[in-house]
Amino acid sequence: MDARGGSLSARLRRLASVLGPHFKLLAAVGTLAGVALALFTQREAIAEFDWQLSWRAFLGSVLLFAVAPLVQGLCFWLVLRGLGLPTRFDEALVIWTRSFLLRYAPTGALAFVIRIRERERLEATSGEVWTASGYEQLVALVSGAIVCVLGFALAQLWPPLAAIGICAAALAVAVAVRPRFLGRVGQKLLAARGIDVPRLLRGRALAAVIVINALGWVATGAATWTLVNALSEEPTPAFAWLVGVYAFAWLLGFLVPLLPGGLGLRDGTLVVFLATRFGTGVATALVLALRLANTLGELLAIGLTELVYRIWRRRRGTRVAAAAP
């Protein structure tokens, strides 16, 4: 990015200032439109799902799918703390979940706007928020790629070549950004192009966050296995294989921009893999149910975070008022 164009962070700050008091309204409209589109594409699953027979399994799957967003929010906070910032966990989690919800809005740009807009609550500068967001995205990519390859390996199958390539590239980047390797060099190169990276995350801290994020995939795999096992009359595939397949579909959706939550690409990839075990018709129904459960799980995680945050903030305010002279 050249000096005339300014940094991406500065552009987002200008966008946030232009939106001004209308930001919340525009964010709400854009997000509702994205969520409505996601749910509209799942109308067949909503209409055809056997609620009477499998509602317990569906509810369990939704609850399990809600775990991953909370783990990712935790990882965002850990990255901020690893960068030496005094960010409160509750503030980091609620801002992350709001940005996670805003990724449903067209282009997903508002997800980063809200982080820049709320940088004071994160006790960070714009550059630090961007740095933390970059590390967070890298953590998600590396952990998802590792889980994908590991899942296929434990199922004693070769993962797709694309998954191997993505995993190798992601790991190479994770190693390269270490401060003692190429991190400092990259920091200077980015600074020369107007992109401020004020701090770097230590390699050990990055590795620890990747491991924690990867553990969240256990819940996602359990959610997938629970729903597939409940809805299919055929023998349920191995847990490891389902995790690997779901992670690969997620990777493709993650890497392709402009698709809210990987909408379409992720589902199509899942259908291709599940069709090898269940046939195309059953696989399509399973994927529609999985997408619906996943979407509701994400919304549940966001809703619970907002509810707990508001209760906690109210109690914290009460304690502060009671302690005041």
Does residue 2 lie in a domain region?
no
Is residue 92 situated within a structural domain?
yes
**Cα dihedral 43, 235, 143, 58 in deg (nearest 10):** 40
Find which of 65-74, 232-241, 248-257, 281-290 is predicted with most confidence, using mean pLDDT: 65-74
Sign of the alpha-carbon dihedral angle for 272, 273, 277, 281: negative
Question: Does residue 3 lie within any of the structural domains?
Answer: no
Q: By residue range, what is the domain housing residue 128?
A: 8-323
The tokens of 195 are what?
A: 């992109």
Q: Which of 119-133, 159-173, 257-271 has the highest mean pLDDT?
A: 159-173
User: Residue 217's pLDDT band (boundaries 50, 70, 90)?
Assistant: very high
Question: Of 43-47, 85-89, 110-114, 253-257, which range is least confident?
Answer: 43-47
The 8-class DSSP code of residue 182 comes to I
What confidence tens digit (pLDDT) does each residue in 249-287 have?
A: 999 888 876 555 555 678 888 888 998 888 887 888 888
Cα–Cα distance, 28 to 288 (Å, whole number): 25
State yes or no: pLDDT of 127 exceeds 60.
yes
Q: Has residue 307 been placed in a domain? A: yes
| 291, 294, 295, 299 alpha-carbon torsion, rounded to 10° | 170
Distances (CA, A) of 167 to 63, 72, 79: 28, 19, 21
Q: Give a yes or no: residue 217 inside a domain.
A: yes
Percentage of residues in the chain with pLDDT exceeding 70?
76
Residue 1 resides in a domain: no
Number of domains in the chain: 1
The answer to whether 9 touches 193, Cβ cutoff 8 Å, is no
Model confidence at 234, pLDDT cuts 50, 70, 90, reads confident
Give CA–CA dist 79/166, Å, rounded.
22
Mean pLDDT of 15-34: 52
> Could you tell me if 9 and 113 are in contact, meaning their C-beta atoms sit under 8 angstroms apart?
no
Going by pLDDT thresholds of 50, 70 and 90, the confidence category of residue 197 is confident
| Whole-number Å distance between alpha carbons of 325 and 322 | 8
Average confidence (pLDDT) over 15-37: 53
pLDDT band at residue 1 under the 50/70/90 scheme: very low
Pairs from 185-192 (Cβ < 8 Å, separation ≥ 24): none
How confident is residue 169, by pLDDT bands cut at 50, 70 and 90?
A: very high
Q: Mean pLDDT score of the chain, rounded to an integer?
A: 81
